[in-house]
């Protein structure tokens, strides 16, 4: 399945639009990783533990959006966007959404 952030796919024609699809996941910080991140925070630099956690969360949300689009009969998702929010202390939601379409 093709997933893009633009409204059209160059060289492809959208022949059917199914509408809005989304996928989301929530993730909490892991105590062990949080301790390592706290140490890294003291010296500065990228917090690899959180980078990996968020990358996995984004992929999980994309998988859920892709599954929803497939159920509708789509073979692509256009106008894909990401959003995130803090649900409570240490818990974040990653949301991905777009428009499910069939392209030829």
Is 39 among the domain residues?
A: no
Question: How many domains, the chain?
Answer: 1
Nearest C-alpha neighbor of 74 from the set 101, 103, 97, 104: 101
pTM, 2 dp:
0.84
What's the CA gap between 57 and 92, in Å, rounded?
Answer: 9
Encode pLDDT of 45-73 as tens digits.
677 777 888 899 999 999 999 999 999 99
Neighbours of 15 (CB within 10 A): 10
The backbone torsions φ and ψ at residue 56, rounded to the nearest 5 degrees and listed phi first, read: -65, -40
Is 78 among the domain residues?
A: yes
Encode pLDDT of 76-100 as tens digits.
999 999 999 988 877 889 999 999 9
Q: Which domain holds residue 61?
A: 2-29+56-103
């Amino acid at each position: 399945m093709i997933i893009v952030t633009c409204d059209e796919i160059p060289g492809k024609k959208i022949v059917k639009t199914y509408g809005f699809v989304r996928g989301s996941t929530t993730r909490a910080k892991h105590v062990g990783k949080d301790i390592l991140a706290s140490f890294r925070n003291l010296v500065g630099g990228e917090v690899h533990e959180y980078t990996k956690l968020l990358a996995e969360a984004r992929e999980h949300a994309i998988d859920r959006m892709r599954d929803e689009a497939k159920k509708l009969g789509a073979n692509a998702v256009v106008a894909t966007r990401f959003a995130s929010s803090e649900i409570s202390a240490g818990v974040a939601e990653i949301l991905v959404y777009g428009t499910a379409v069939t392209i030829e």
